[in-house]
Chain A
């Protein structure tokens, strides 16, 4: 089975712009979760989508949003980018019940 894929791998944006990141889960997995990793921090949970519905949400401002399509692919959108949004954004897929999540390689976002 192919693993979790994320596009793009690297992105440079300017403050105030918006960005959309994409994630394709492992075939058959219906749950997609998004995490943010910044230097000195662990991975922080953004949100989870299961069968096109947001099932969990972390403590991030409303500028961070997401969606999931019928084929389980997911997108994450960040509007009005701030310098502090510079981070590695990781997507993880799971079957939604076992607890084990499998991560993609991440998208490195740099905001200047």
Chain B
């Protein structure tokens, strides 16, 4: 049973436009959410996180929105740049599960010049 779902396997956007990456979860015990970016042959790089007590967190061009009632979060990248092209993973932490993260299968973002 997949508790973190990234239903769109890929997304293509024009440089300068907004990229919106979506993630849904099923476990009500998740209290912390993270987004990672991964290039081929490298480990995932931490991008941004949000606690379940907040509904928005912003860091430069990256903003994460959390809708707890819908069990949905999204990552907005504005403006998108060609260097943002990578696989993006959504991850969640269960309350009391310490450092265990549950990951989605990832979304491949392509930003066209």
Could you list which residues of chain A lie within 8 angstroms of chain B, going by C-beta atoms?
Answer: 4, 6, 31, 33, 35, 40-45, 48, 50, 55-56, 58, 90, 92, 94, 96, 99-106
- CB pair B100 A48 closer than 8 Å: yes
Contacts of B46 in A (CB 8 A): 100-103
Contacts of B97 in A (CB 8 A): 56
A-B pairs, top 4 by smallest CB distance, nearest first, are A103-B43, A42-B103, A42-B105, A43-B103
- CB pair A45 B101 closer than 8 Å: yes
Number of inter-chain CB pairs below 8 Å: 70
Q: Interface residues of A: mostly helix, strand, loop or mixed?
A: strand
Contact A106-B43, Cβ < 8 Å, known A96-B98, A101-B99: yes
Contacts of A55 in B (CB 8 A): 98-99
- Within B75-107, the residues touching A (CB, 8 Å) are 89, 91, 93, 97-106
- CB pair B99 A94 closer than 8 Å: yes
Query: What is the CA–CA distance of A48 and B42 in the complex, to the nearest angstrom?
Result: 21
Contacts of A105 in B (CB 8 A): 41-43
| Interface pairs (21), CB distance under 8 Å | A31-B98, A40-B105, A41-B105, A42-B103, A43-B44, A45-B100, A48-B98, A48-B99, A55-B98, A55-B99, A56-B98, A90-B43, A90-B44, A92-B43, A92-B101, A99-B34, A99-B99, A100-B46, A103-B46, A105-B41, A105-B43
Query: What is the CA–CA distance of A22 and B106 in the complex, to the nearest angstrom?
Result: 26
Q: Name which of A43, A90, A100, A106 has the most chain B CB atoms within 10 A of its CB.
A: A43
